[in-house]
Chains A and B, each alone.
Chain A
Amino acid sequence: MQLALIFLATLSVLGVSLLLPQPATAATAEEDYARQASVAPQPDDIGAGYEIPPAQRVAPRAAWWYVVDMALLAAALVVAALIAHRWRRRWMAVTLSLASLAYFGFFRGGCVCPIGATQNVAAGIADSSYAVPLAVLAFFMLPLVAALLAGRVFCGGPCPLGAIQDLVLIKPKQLPPAVDRWGGKFRYAYLGIAVVLAAAPAAAREFPICRYDPFVGFFRLTGPATMFAFGTALLAIGTVIGRPYCRFLCPYGALLGVVSRFSWKSVSITPDEELDCGLCTEACPFGAIENMRAKRATCLACARCFAHCPRQQYAWGEIELYEIEQLTQQAADKPTDKKPATRPIEEPVA
């Protein structure tokens, strides 16, 4: 009985002590866990004169850079048109190519280029919720407008992909015209595939032109090994066969070719009266001169032919009048004159 009473008393004392506030232990617990677990401490909580540093962020590319890109593209197109139609100097075309390669290629990193923009435009037309950035639209449109006015001046001027190939073309050999004609058809197929894949619904959308771009890796100095292999192979072929990507692969070139077929102005090789000596046909690495006239759809406005025209050289005062006859005579004496396109190109006679 006594034992039971003691037991109850102990229990009640314990119970009361548990119910009573426990000042000492509660205070230490609050000190230990003073920090709220769900809220970030601010400078006042932290003390020690701490200031919150800003998050390490970089702002996206400023809008004015897009304006610079567009303005430079427009300017380069105008300069390329002037070179192809008025100034006619090869060194100017080379300088423009180098400048384009530097800015549109290496500095700008290549994206989004007019070639790839074809896909964005196709996606934009097919999907009304897909907005094409204004700069990308301008990059797609400006070369087409230029092509309608002055031919494929984009290819010979601002295009960095064209420029890198043009600059490695050391020893140009001409291809049989049939290879040029039928090989060139592949561009239309590529364009068709690219448009179909880009116009697919968002989940299945694919940009094959960008995926299989051979040169963008060079511009960025980084990229997948397959891209470098493809690009290097094209550049190696390009030392002999002029601009293989432009002539046989480039889908945008196909589009520009169609438009420039109807161009307002076309490249006229001889400055005044036609000579019909065929020296220009030999000088063209791209097989773009047929019957001694530049073909609107395939002429890339590289300005190589002008330097080989005796009349042009005379107009520049580089040769005397009697030398025109000598040069044309030399050209006429060559045995395979009937088929100039199959013949390898000679060194410039001047």
Chain B
Amino acid sequence: MAHDETRRNFLHRSGQAACAAAIVGTGAVLARRACSGDAWAIAPNRCVNIRLGVTGADKVCSSCAEQCVLALSAVRAVNQHDRCGRCCICPAYFDVRSQVGPDGLPTKKLCPRDAIIRTPIGEIDPYDPLNNFYEYTIDDEKCNGCGRCVMECKDPAGLGSIRLEVRYDLCLRCNQCSIAQACPEDAYVRVGPQPAPAEALEGGHA
């Protein structure tokens, strides 16, 4: 009986030591190359909607809008105002292939959810439409990140001021992100575990 007890005790101790060694070992190996935080981000040069060289709303990829587990996707279009051309006929705001109306502007809007707000800046000169400026803001509550405006606002017609970005206040940081799973270009990356993507567009003017 006493012998049995020591045997059990020995096994218990050995198991304890083995578990401790495994925990400390794994922890040490992984902690040495651990990263501090983690967040999902879109790699602009991989995303088909953002990267240069692809245009046309028919080539748009709307995985971000459709795949997110949230009702309203955690991805949205963001207009970088300092790079916006503030054009009168904005190819991201208007559907430039639609019928031109009596005011000389296309009659249809590009955004299927009407999430872009167009505000004139200063006085509008009706005889000089091309030199008027408009501010384009994206309605946070309407935009679902479908990427149509992003696709249109780049070379040759646009300046590439609109990009798809993750809204970190909504993103749940799912361990297995469904957008990343569905992204055809592997453009949805987990920064931290993976390196941060480059911001500047390859082949762009700025």
Q: Are B33 and A131 in contact (CB under 8 A)?
A: yes
Contact residues in A for B33 (Cβ distance below 8 Å): 124, 128, 131
User: What distance in Å separates the Cβ of B200 from its nearest Cβ neighbour in chain A?
Assistant: 15
* Closest Cβ–Cβ distance, residue A254 to chain B (whole Å): 14
Return the CB mask of A48-68 against B: 1 if under 8 Å, else 0. 101011111111110100100
Residue B7 at the A interface, CB < 8 A?
A: no
Comparing B51-59, B101-109, B172-180, the segment that makes contact with chain A is B172-180
State in angstroms the CA–CA spacing of A12 and B167 once bound together.
67
CB of A255, distance to nearest CB on chain B (Å): 10
Chain B 1-55 residues near chain A, CB threshold 8 A: 12, 15-16, 18-20, 23, 26-27, 29-31, 33-39
Question: Is there a chain A Cβ closer than 8 Å to B199's Cβ?
Answer: no
* Interface contact A148-B159, CB-CB below 8 Å: no
User: Which residues of B from 108 to 150 have beta carbons under 8 Å from A?
Assistant: 121-123, 128, 130-131, 133, 135, 137-138, 140
Given that A50-B122, A121-B26, A134-B36 are known contacts, is A40 also in contact with B84, CB under 8 Å in the complex?
yes
A residues 30-76 near B (Cβ < 8 Å) are 31-35, 37-42, 46-48, 50, 52-61, 63, 66
Residues from chain B with Cβ under 8 Å of A110 in the complex:
172
In the bound assembly, the distance between CA atoms of A130 and B190 in angstroms comes to 10
Q: Are B173 and A61 in contact (CB under 8 A)?
A: yes
CB atoms of A55 and B81 under 8 A apart: yes
B85 adjacent to chain A (CB < 8 Å): yes
A135-B37, A262-B15 as given contacts; A48 in contact with B121, CB under 8 Å: yes
CA distance A6 to B69 in the complex (A): 80
Q: Kindly state whether residue B198 has any CB partner on chain A within 8 Å.
A: no
Closest to A259 in B: B19
Name the contact of A132 in the complex, choosing from B34, B39, B167 (C-beta under 8 A): B34
A-chain residues with CB within 8 Å of residue B15 when the two chains form the complex: 261-262
**Contact in complex: A57, B121 (CB < 8 Å):** no
Given contacts A60-B168, A63-B37, A111-B173, contact A224 B31 (CB under 8 A): no
Most chain A beta carbons < 10 A, residue from B161, B165, B172: B172
Q: Does the CB pair B175–A41 fall under 8 Å?
A: no
Residues on the A chain within 8 Å of B169, using CB: 58
Establish whether residues B85 and A134, one from each chain, have CB atoms under 8 Å apart when the complex forms: no
Pick the residue among A40, A56, A134, A258 that contacts B34 (CB under 8 A).
A134
Complex Cα distance, B173 from A220, in Å, reads 12
Contact A35 B130 (CB under 8 A): yes
Assess the A132–B86 pair: CB atoms within 8 A: no
Q: Is A324 an interface residue (CB 8 A)?
A: no
Mask of B67-85 contacts with A, CB within 8 angstroms, 1/0: 0011100000011111111
B23 A144 Cβ-Cβ under 8 A: yes
Chain B residues contacting A39 (CB-CB under 8 Å) are 159
Residues of B close to A37: CB separation below 8 A: 85
Set of chain B residues within 8 Å of A54, measured between Cβ atoms? 81
Partner of A133, one of B35, B78, B84, B165: B35
Q: Is the CB of B85 within 8 A of A41?
A: yes
Q: Which chain B residue has the least Cβ–Cβ distance from A211? A: B176
Please give, as numbers and ranges, the residues of chain A lying within 8 Å of B86 by CB-CB distance: 40-41, 46
Interface residues of B in 158-203 (CB under 8 A from A): 159, 161, 165, 167-169, 172-176, 192-194
- B26 and A34 form a contact (CB under 8 A): no
Q: Is A210 interfacial (CB-CB < 8 Å)? A: yes
| Shortest distance from the beta carbon of A38 to any chain B beta carbon, whole Å | 6
Binary CB contact string for chain A from 262 to 275 against chain B (1 if under 8 A, 0 otherwise): 11100000000000
A124-165 contact mask (Cβ, 8 Å, vs B): 1 or 0: 110010111111110001001100100000000000000000
User: Which residues of A are interface residues toward B (Cβ below 8 A)?
Assistant: 31-35, 37-42, 46-48, 50, 52-61, 63, 66, 109-112, 116-117, 119-121, 124-125, 128, 130-137, 141, 144-145, 148, 206-207, 210-211, 220, 222-224, 258-259, 261-264
Chain B interface (Cβ < 8 Å from any Cβ of A) = 12, 15-16, 18-20, 23, 26-27, 29-31, 33-39, 69-71, 78-86, 121-123, 128, 130-131, 133, 135, 137-138, 140, 159, 161, 165, 167-169, 172-176, 192-194, 205
Q: Which 9 A-B pairs have the closest CB atoms?
A: A48-B122, A262-B15, A207-B176, A210-B176, A60-B39, A131-B35, A133-B38, A262-B16, A210-B175
Can you name 29 A-B residue pairings with CB atoms under 8 Å?
A35-B131, A38-B159, A40-B82, A40-B83, A40-B86, A41-B86, A42-B82, A50-B122, A55-B79, A56-B79, A56-B137, A111-B174, A125-B26, A130-B194, A131-B192, A132-B34, A133-B34, A133-B38, A134-B34, A134-B35, A136-B38, A137-B27, A137-B34, A145-B23, A210-B175, A222-B71, A259-B23, A262-B15, A262-B18
